[in-house]
C-alpha cells in the first residue's frame, strides 16, 4: 500500500472526465483502492478522496463521513464507490466545502439534501444507497471529481461564497 500524492489546482488532470472501471478483480484496481484508503486515513479529518485527485482518471472514490471533525450521527461508514450514478435526488442545501485539491479555500455550495446512488463496491457488486445531509454532500463532491469538476465550479459567487482557509499550526 502507498499514500498517494494529491494533485492540486490548476493541474489539468483535475478537469479530465474519468473513465468507467470495467473489472474490479484486476490487481491494479484493487491496489488503487487500498492506496486511496491509506491516503484518506493518513490525511487528518479527510472524509473522501476520488481517484482523479491522485492522478488516476477512473470512476472510483472512497469516503468515510465518520472521519469528520463533527461526524454526522448517521452514516454508512467506509464506502468504496466505483462507477457511481445518481438515480434520484431531493431538496437543496447550502453548505461549506473544502477540498484536498484546493487546500487554500473553502466555499458555500448548493447540493442536493438527499440522494439515491447506484454504484459498484470494491468487488464490483452493484449497490444502491440513500444518503442524506453531510454524507450526500460528500458523495456529490467526490463524484464531481470524476466529472472534472471542482467545488469552485458550483459556488454562486466567487466574491461572496469563496473563502481563504484558516491556516492551522
> Which residues are paired to 112 by β-bridges?
92
Break the chain into its structural domains and give their ranges: 12-164
Contact 106, 98 (CB under 8 A): yes
Tell me yes or no: is domain 12-164 CATH 2.40.50.140: no
Q: Which of 20, 93, 135, 142 is catalytic?
A: 142
| Average pLDDT of span 30-57 | 96
Instruction: State the distance between the two ends of the chain, measured CA to CA, in whole angstroms.
Output: 29
135 catalytically annotated:
no
At residue 79, the 3 state secondary structure works out as strand
pLDDT tens digits for range 47-106: 999 999 999 999 999 999 988 888 888 899 999 999 999 999 999 999 999 999 999 999
pLDDT tens digits for range 121-155: 999 999 999 999 999 999 999 999 999 999 999 99
pLDDT of 116 reads: 98
Contact 84, 36 (CB under 8 A): no
**pTM over the 0.85 mark:** yes
Residue 64: count of CB within 10 angstroms of its CB: 22
Contact 67, 89 (CB under 8 A): no
pLDDT of 76 reads: 93
Amino acid at each position: 500500500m502507498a499514500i498517494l500524492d494529491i494533485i492540486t489546482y490548476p493541474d489539468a488532470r483535475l478537469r479530465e472526465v474519468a473513465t468507467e472501471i470495467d473489472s474490479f478483480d484486476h490487481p491494479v484496481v484493487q491496489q488503487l483502492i487500498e492506496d486511496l484508503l491509506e491516503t484518506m486515513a493518513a490525511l487528518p479529518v479527510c472524509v473522501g478522496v476520488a481517484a482523479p485527485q491522485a492522478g488516476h482518471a477512473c470512476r472510483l472514490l472512497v469516503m468515510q463521513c465518520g472521519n469528520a471533525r463533527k461526524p454526522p450521527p448517521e452514516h454508512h461508514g467506509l464506502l468504496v464507490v466505483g462507477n457511481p450514478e445518481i438515480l434520484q435526488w431531493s431538496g437543496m442545501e447550502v453548505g461549506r466545502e473544502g477540498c484536498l485539491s484546493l487546500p487554500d479555500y473553502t466555499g458555500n455550495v448548493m447540493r442536493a439534501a438527499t440522494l439515491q446512488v447506484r454504484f459498484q463496491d470494491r468487488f464490483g457488486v452493484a449497490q444502491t444507497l440513500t444518503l442524506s445531509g453531510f454524507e450526500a454532500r460528500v458523495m456529490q463532491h467526490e463524484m464531481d471529481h470524476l466529472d472534472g469538476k471542482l467545488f469552485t465550479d458550483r459556488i454562486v459567487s466567487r466574491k461572496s461564497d469563496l473563502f481563504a482557509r484558516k491556516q492551522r499550526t
